[in-house]
Structure 1
Amino acid sequence: MTVNDNPPNVRRIETSRDDAYAFEIVGHITAADMENLYGLLEGAYEVHDRIDVLVIIHDYEGFDWQAAFKEQTMIGKTNALKHIRKYAVAGGPAWMGTTIAFFRPFFSMEMEYFPYEKVEEAWKWLGAEPS
């Protein structure tokens, strides 16, 4: 087995804007994946006070719900609220769109959900492209 046989479930996608960050999430999401994602975002906050984020989810196999309530994940979520200007999710289960629509009025950031088939629209909404 080589390192490439088990790629991480969270991968950063380079974008056309230095203040736009995109991530691909594949498979089953663990606490380690969430910590990796928030670690990457923390690095972005060091460079830019405000950023735009796109999360593309495909081949979704579930989520470790205990990961959502780990201290490090909660800290990451709280810190993200101060720095994210626009947040889009493309793909994943249908309940993600419902969840984003429900929480949208409670946050100052712009939030949108796009079905996986409309990932190009998500990129346009974010105002960035993969590079």
Structure 2
Amino acid sequence: MPLNDDPPHVRQIETDRDDAYAFELVGHITAADMENLYGLLEGAYEIHERIDVLVILRGYEGFDWQAAFKEQTMIGKTHALKHIRKYAFIGGPGWMGTMVGLFKPFLSMEMKHFGPDEIDQAWAWLGARPVETAT
């Protein structure tokens, strides 16, 4: 069986709160990555009516824009609006912070963008911490 040289672009980070979910997105984000992320969130909605989410973008190399308009992605976005209380977004290109600012007044969730050097502030704003796991 061949090894997969392309590591997952979406990695879940365990947190110290059962209703706080964190993810690291790395590299180029594809439609499959978005479906994976929204699938993980759908599982969270089955357990908790409302959740808090933190997303860290590292080594951002772009996004498949067609993924934003796929049916599964649109369903995921709609469900997110119903279930997410707080959404912290860390890193990414500068325009992402601008987009958060533009959409924030139209959304029911609290949403805040943090620079890549503000990860501790993002965790504090969310009221959660990452849990260290042994490797």
Note whether the superposition's TM-score is higher than 0.5.
yes
Show structure 2 runs of 5+ residues with no match. none
The CA RMSD measured in Å over matched residues stands at 0.8
Higher fraction of helix: 1
Residue 125 of structure 1 aligns to a residue whose secondary structure is: helix
Output one character per residue of 1:82-115: Cα deviation in whole Å (capped at 9) or x when no partner.
0000001000111110000111110111000000
- Confirm whether residue 58 of structure 1 aligns to residue 58 of structure 2: yes
Q: Give the TM-score normalised by structure 1.
A: 0.97
What does residue 78 of structure 1 align with? 78
Gaps of 5+ in 1: none
Question: Comparing 5-14 with 49-58, which one deviates more in the overlay?
Answer: 5-14
C-alpha distance in 2 between matches for 1:24 and 1:94: 18
Aligned to 1:118: 118
Are 1:34 and 2:47 counterparts?
no
Question: TM-score, normalised to structure 2's length?
Answer: 0.94
Give distance in 2, aligned partners of 1:71 and 1:2: 31
CA distance in 2, matches of 1:63, 1:18: 29
Partners of 1:116 and 1:63 lie apart in 2 by 18
Q: Which runs of 4+ in 1 moved over 3 A?
A: none
